[in-house]
Amino acid sequence: MTLQNTQTPRTALVTGASTGIGEATARRLSAEGWKVFAVARRADRLEALAQETGVVPLAADISEDADVARLVTTVTEAGGIDTLINIAGGARGVDPIATANDADWEWMFRVNVLGTLKLTRGFLPMLRAHGEGTVLNLTSTAALSSYEGGGGYNAAKFAERAMTQALRLEEAEHNVRVVEVLPGMVKTEEFSLNRLGDASKAENVYRGVEKPLTAADVADVVAYAVNAPHHVNLDEIVIRPVAQAANHKVIRRD
């Protein structure tokens, strides 16, 4: 354990903090004594989270330039951050490419790729100036192998993964470490529901899987990565439930 971890307050901005893995991560880091700026579009959920945990709620759409500029200004005035955790993202639809929905693809690229790009670009000067900055991007095992009906999400997460790898190469000289966490099957409140638009279909995704990952499981891994001494870079961490040996192989015990 370094002096940085024991004596210097750590400060992070966490996106996607209104639900799922983002919310769990904000809760986890706040409980560990971090100052957390919690970012999401839904102000009511952020305010409730702030009341429970003490995080700083900042309602914003990270795909909008004006919102990103406002976030950078607000965080700068509040003392800045040393860690940026890009969790906001998601999937829409399971159409094959032959019948792909343009709006679904555009949404996935805007949220997963452009949102991550804009926020990272906005905060990089601050992270460089800190001297020991960290960027952690949450991608997905969908960025490792494609599957039928996943073309749009695969493409978006492959792109986000490529951006993360390039960022690591570009920022090493500035002592900014870049971490990628790639979860597999995680059962959260909204991911599959938002993707499929039907509660019964969403529940069927996890049918017979005894122990899919939870948001808290992934938050544990994120917290471990950003709490490690700064010279330790966990380049990429793949996390799946034991029941999911690969994207295409899931053990279901009906």
Q: Where do the DSSP E strands lie in the chain?
A: 11-15, 35-40, 56-59, 83-86, 134-138, 177-183, 236-239, 244-246, 249-250
Tell which residue, 25, 42, 124, has the closest CA to residue 81. 124
Residues annotated as catalytic are 153
Domain 3-250: give its CATH superfamily.
NAD(P)-binding Rossmann-like Domain (3.40.50.720)
> Alpha-carbon distance 104 to 151, whole Å?
11
Q: What is the pLDDT along the chain (254 residues), one digit of tens a residue?
A: 333 444 567 999 999 999 999 999 999 999 999 999 999 999 999 999 999 999 999 999 999 999 999 999 999 999 999 999 999 999 999 999 999 999 999 999 999 999 999 999 999 999 999 999 999 999 999 999 999 999 999 999 999 999 999 999 999 999 999 999 999 989 877 666 677 676 777 677 778 788 999 999 999 999 999 999 999 999 999 999 999 999 889 888 87
Domain map (residue ranges) of the chain: 3-250
